[in-house]
Every structure is written in C-alpha cells, then in structure tokens.
C-alpha cells in the first residue's frame, strides 16, 4: 500500500524522493512499519502456541497471564487499528497522486477495486491456508479489501460526507453490538452475514475475524485524514499530541461509564490490569480510541524527530511500511515455516514468551532483506502488476 504526497506537503516529516514532483511521507510509512512489526511479534508467538492476549473476544472472560505476556499484548494490539487507518490514508494519497496526473474518478476507483481484489485473493489463499490450514478465512486483508470496495464508491462524495458516513457507521455498529450483547456473551450461533458485517465468529463457514462495519469506518476515517494531511496544523507534532490526548480522554470516559459497544467493559471487582483490556472482536469504541490515541502520540514523535526514520536506527520501520503488503503476506509464510521447524526440535523448557520473541527476531532478519529486494523490484518495474501490491 504505497503512500505518496506532493513534495513539500509535510515539511516536518522525513521524505524519500520518488520523482521530481512526488515524495513519500516517511512518518506515515514508519507508523505503518510499527504496526506491522508488532503484528509480526504476536503472530510469531501465535504460530508456536504462545498467547499474549490483552484484549477480549465476543465478551468472553479474559484470563491474563503474567505481566510480560499481557503488557506485550497491549503493544501488539496497536497493530490492527493503525493498519486499517493507514490503509485509508494511503488510498487518499494515492487518489491525490493519480488525480494530479489526470486520472478520472472512474480510473481511480477502478484501480482501488483491482487492488482490493488482489489483496483479498492473497488473503483467501496463501494467508488463509498457512494461518488456519484451511480455506477460505476472512481475516485482515479481506476486511480491508471489502472496506476498499465500499470506499471506491464513497470517495465520490464530499470529504465531509465521507466523514459523516464513517462516524455514523461506527456509532451505529456499536449500538448494534449492544443489542446483540446477550447473544454474543451467551456464545449463541451466528449467521455468516452477522459475523461478516457486525461481529466475528470462528464457527461460521468461512470463519470471520474482522467484521466489515466494525473496521471499515476506521479505514474511511483514515481516508478523510489522508485528504487533510496538507493542512498546516497536521504538520505539527503538537497537534498530534492533542489528538492523541483527546482520544485517550475519550477512552477513559468510555471505560468509566462502562463502555458503549464494549463487550469487555470493566466492572467493579475486576483486577486493575483489566481496565486496559477491551473488546477487539468485535472492535469497541473504547478499544479504537485507546489504540489510535497511542498511535497519534507515536506519530507525533515520528514527525518531531524525522531523522530517526530516514537515516537513523528506525529507518527499517519506513522500509517495512513502504512494502506493507509484501511484508504482511510473507510474514505469515515465514513464521508458519519457522514454527514447523521449531516443533521438530526438543527445545529446553523456557517460558513461551522467550521463544515467541526469539522466533519473531529470527523472522525479522529474513523479512527485512526480502522487503528491500521487493522495494527495488517495484521501483524497477513501476507499471508491472507490482503496482497493485
């Protein structure tokens, strides 16, 4: 998912020149790299049966492990909200780039539809098979693809209308979850359509991990943000500190009043650590506010200190963000293979989290050069099928 903007749009961000008139917004790429790196950690652990849960699913009771596990989980659950939001940002910047080159609205929407088809195909084949051992499986990329299909039409509306649709959809979805709360907490069977659009279920055929109307609005809000990134206020680190603080204040208010659409609402008598544990499936408003609030603070740091993501120690995050789809697909392939090799050996009896981190670091040493090679190929063949990736 390529992120581009006109040269000079964000003078406070670190930028890698792509042509005389276009450049990459490095801070956006680096933030996406943060999300993918954290996602790789939790998935590496998952493949060898190590859970780092710090979120709830379907209103089921969460039993947190020792602090190293659930604190790691608090970090890794930043990944999905950032990934969905920045998918929308990238599409907005892609739209701007292609419109500047004279592309029609239909041409831009057609490109988005083609890209949606490609990423859904990858998710329903390679990713699904290696993730669960069966096909299909509606996971992250399929949910993004379906959200993109809707956005291909929504983008024809004025920006304020898209913003309104995203916010209303988000709030209505939370209300529907409140109405479905008794059914979900009781573990009652769900239809595929209910799971696909509103909740989630691993018992439907195919299984659904990310409901479209729960996560789609996050992408659409990101699209609105992408259209607005040229505003002077959004170039300043302090603006993002205020945005992050505002989202965290919203999260705190929602937690204190019991949440809205949060099946993991905090209750009196729960351990204090559970105050930070919210519903990810289906995503609650408090979960999204907490994770995106932290993401805004991270972004503030990235645009305040741009050299660390261009020439400094965190430049690898920018690389990962620039090759996000390649990284996503290949991290599932690589960690699946490494996990199969892991189980062939009689390893010492160490805490599972040790092996989770070790496998993650080993996989990253393979993924980073692979992403570097892929970036070179995409630059070498800009009009090939790689432009959809």
* pLDDT for 2 beyond 80: no
Nearest to 151 by CA among 200, 98, 85: 85
pLDDT at 7: 33
Residue 4's pLDDT band, with cuts at 50, 70 and 90, is very low
* pLDDT for 133 beyond 90: no
Alpha-carbon distance 207 to 204, whole Å?
5
pTM to 2 decimal places: 0.91
* pLDDT for 23 beyond 50: no
Which percentage of the chain shows pLDDT scores above 90?
72
pLDDT at 1: 42
Segment 82-110, tens digit of pLDDT: 999 999 999 999 999 899 999 999 999 99
Segment 358-386, tens digit of pLDDT: 999 999 999 999 999 999 998 888 877 77
Give the β-pairing of 5-6 and 22-25: antiparallel
* pLDDT for 27 beyond 50: yes
Q: How confident is the model over 66-84, as a mean pLDDT?
A: 96
CB atoms within 10 A of CB 20: 7
Mapped onto helix, strand or coil, the DSSP state of residue 374 is helix
Residue 131's pLDDT band, with cuts at 50, 70 and 90, is confident
Residue 32's pLDDT band, with cuts at 50, 70 and 90, is very high
Residue 61's pLDDT band, with cuts at 50, 70 and 90, is confident
Q: How confident is the model over 279-290, as a mean pLDDT?
A: 95
Could you give the residue ranges of the DSSP H alpha helices within 155-236? 159-185, 192-197, 212-228
Alpha-carbon distance 94 to 119, whole Å?
16
pLDDT at 273: 92
Segment 341-360, tens digit of pLDDT: 999 988 898 999 999 999 99
Question: What does DSSP assign to residue 284?
Answer: P
Lowest mean pLDDT among 16-25, 56-65, 112-121: 16-25
Mapped onto helix, strand or coil, the DSSP state of residue 135 is coil
Q: How confident is the model over 273-282, as a mean pLDDT?
A: 93
Question: What does DSSP assign to residue 138?
Answer: B
Question: Which structure tokens are listed for 205?
Answer: 């055929």
In whole numbers, what is the pLDDT of the chain averaged over residues?
89
Alpha-carbon distance 124 to 347, whole Å?
33
* pLDDT for 207 beyond 80: yes
pLDDT at 331: 97
Alpha-carbon distance 328 to 159, whole Å?
29
* pLDDT for 284 beyond 50: yes
Of 312 and 192, the structure prediction assigns the larger pLDDT to 192
pLDDT at 58: 85
Residue 242's pLDDT band, with cuts at 50, 70 and 90, is very high
* pLDDT for 8 beyond 70: no
Alpha-carbon distance 83 to 219, whole Å?
9
Segment 166-200, tens digit of pLDDT: 999 999 999 999 999 888 888 889 999 999 999 99
pLDDT at 3: 42
Alpha-carbon distance 155 to 291, whole Å?
25
Question: What does DSSP assign to residue 15?
Answer: E
Who's near 53: CB < 8 A, 6+ residues apart? 62, 64, 65, 69, 70, 73
Q: How confident is the model over 197-214, as a mean pLDDT?
A: 93
pLDDT at 18: 37
Alpha-carbon distance 292 to 301, whole Å?
14
Buried b (16+ CB within 10 A) or exposed e, 23-36: bbbbbbbbbbbbbb
Who's near 66: CB < 8 A, 6+ residues apart? none
- Domain of 128 in residue numbering reads as 5-388
Query: How many domains is the chain partitioned into structurally?
Result: 1
Question: Which structure tokens are listed for 364?
Answer: 């990253």
């Amino acid at each position: 998912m390529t992120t581009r903007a006109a040269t000079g749009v964000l003078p406070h961000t670190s930028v890698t020149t792509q042509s005389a008139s276009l450049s990459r917004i490095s801070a956006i790429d680096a933030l996406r790299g943060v999300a993918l790196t954290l996602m790789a950690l939790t998935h590496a652990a998952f493949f060898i049966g190590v859970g780092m849960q710090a979120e709830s699913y379907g209103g089921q009771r969460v039993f947190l492990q020792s602090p190293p596990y659930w604190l790691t989980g608090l970090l890794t659950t930043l990944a999905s909200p950032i990934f969905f939001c920045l998918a929308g940002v990238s599409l907005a910047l892609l739209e701007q780039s292609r419109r500047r080159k004279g592309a029609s609205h239909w041409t831009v929407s057609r490109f988005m539809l083609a890209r949606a088809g490609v990423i859904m195909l990858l998710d329903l084949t390679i990713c699904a098979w290696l993730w669960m051992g069966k096909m299909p499986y509606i996971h992250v990329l399929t949910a993004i693809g379906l959200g993109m299909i809707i956005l291909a039409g929504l983008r024809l509306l004025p920006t304020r209308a898209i913003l309104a649709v995203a916010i209303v959809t988000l709030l209505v979805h939370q209300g529907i979850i409140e109405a479905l709360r008794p059914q979900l907490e009781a573990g009652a069977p769900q239809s595929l359509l209910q799971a696909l659009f509103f909740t989630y279920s691993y018992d439907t055929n195919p299984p659904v991990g990310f409901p479209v109307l729960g996560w789609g609005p996050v992408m659409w809000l990101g699209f609105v943000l992408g259209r607005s990134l040229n505003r002077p206020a959004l170039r300043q680190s302090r603006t993002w500190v205020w945005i992050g603080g505002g989202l965290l204040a919203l999260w705190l208010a929602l937690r204190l009043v019991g949440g809205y659409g949060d099946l993991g609402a905090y209750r009196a008598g729960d351990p204090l650590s559970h105050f930070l544990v919210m519903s990810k499936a289906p995503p609650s408003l408090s979960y999204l506010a907490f994770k995106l609030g932290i993401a805004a603070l991270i972004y503030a740091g990235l645009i305040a200190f741009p050299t660390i993501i261009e020439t400094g120690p965190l430049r690898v995050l920018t690389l990962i963000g620039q090759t996000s789809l390649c990284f996503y697909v290949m991290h599932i392939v690589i960690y699946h293979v490494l996990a199969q090799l892991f189980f062939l050996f009689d390893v010492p009896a160490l805490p599972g989290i040790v092996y989770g981190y070790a496998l993650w670091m080993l996989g990253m040493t393979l993924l980073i050069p692979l992403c570097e090679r892929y970036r070179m190929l995409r630059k070498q063949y800009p009009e090939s099928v790689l432009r959809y990736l």
